[in-house]
Amino acid sequence: MLVKTKAIVLHKIKYSNSSLIVNLYTEEWGKQSILVRGVLSKKSKINSSYLDYMNIIEIEAWKGKNSDLLVARDVQLAYHTNSISESLLKKTIAVYMSELLYRTINVPDADKELFDFVCDAVHILDSEEYNQHFPILFLIKLLHFLGISPINNFDHRNKIFDMRTSKYIPDFNDINYCFDAETSRILSIYLNVQNDYSVDENIGRRERNQVLDDVLKYLTYHYSYFKGLKSLEVLKSVLS
């Protein structure tokens, strides 16, 4: 059966000298793998750059009854990026985003709200000037779709974030499961950010990195299969 859908590129591996198996998050079916034959050859009708990480594409593919693997007939860009492909910084952030999604989305079903959220994030990354808070905010916003969004009950009494309860508590009850006071405060600032990715307060690089590290630990605590990100250190080095 020939099918069409929009999709976001998350991961890819070589299948042969000229072919790729690409992991996608599709609008219609959620997470899917697609075989793109001959895309690495010079004679390919499909531009291999269309399969760059976090590209939003339109695929036409054969979907078999007894196979979960799609076979590509055609791939086109559904959204033409203006700056991601030209900026090392934004390209590195895109790789981080794709790995984060690839390693956390395990439910095969489609989620239109999640798909739209990711597409909106790509548009913001591409169209706006570099935002040093973007990688952290994308991660924190993603937690909502994973069902583990922290509760922002931070106030003069509850100042310490506890990973186990996903909310703020008055004091440390176990240092291994609590953010420090400053990281807890900054997390609350990020949790207050609504639809955009803008933060008014000046937060230093060291503090941002600490929040990023701790929120990833929080993700690992609640998602035992999540084993961290290979792209994290590269991201930090580029953002430094």
Q: How far apart are CA 209 and CA 215, in angstroms?
A: 10
CA distances from 71 to 14, 35, 199 (A): 14, 5, 43
Whether the predicted pLDDT of 66 surpasses 80:
no
Summarised one tens digit per residue, pLDDT across range 15-44 is 999 999 999 999 999 999 999 999 999 999
Q: Give strand pairing partners of 22.
A: 12, 34
* Residues 45, 47, 48: CA angle, nearest 5 degrees: 125
> Residue type for 9, please?
V
Q: How far apart are CA 197 and CA 190, in angstroms?
A: 9
Quote the DSSP letter at residue 198. -
Quote the DSSP letter at residue 41. S
The pLDDT value given to residue 70: 94
Q: How far apart are CA 114 and CA 119, in angstroms?
A: 9
Summarised one tens digit per residue, pLDDT across range 165-221 is 999 999 998 889 999 999 999 999 999 998 789 898 999 999 999 999 999 999 999
Q: What is 84-239's CATH number, 2.40.50.140, 3.30.450.40, 3.40.50.1110, 1.20.1440.120?
A: 1.20.1440.120
Confidence class for position 238, pLDDT limits 50, 70, 90: confident
Domain ranges of the chain: 2-77, 84-239
Q: Check for a shared fold between 2-77 and 84-239.
A: no
Return the H-helix or E-strand segment holding 35: strand 30-36
Q: Is 3 helix (H, G, I), strand (E, B) or coil?
A: strand
Read off the pTM. Answer: 0.95
Enter the CATH code of domain 2-77.
2.40.50.140
The pLDDT value given to residue 32: 95
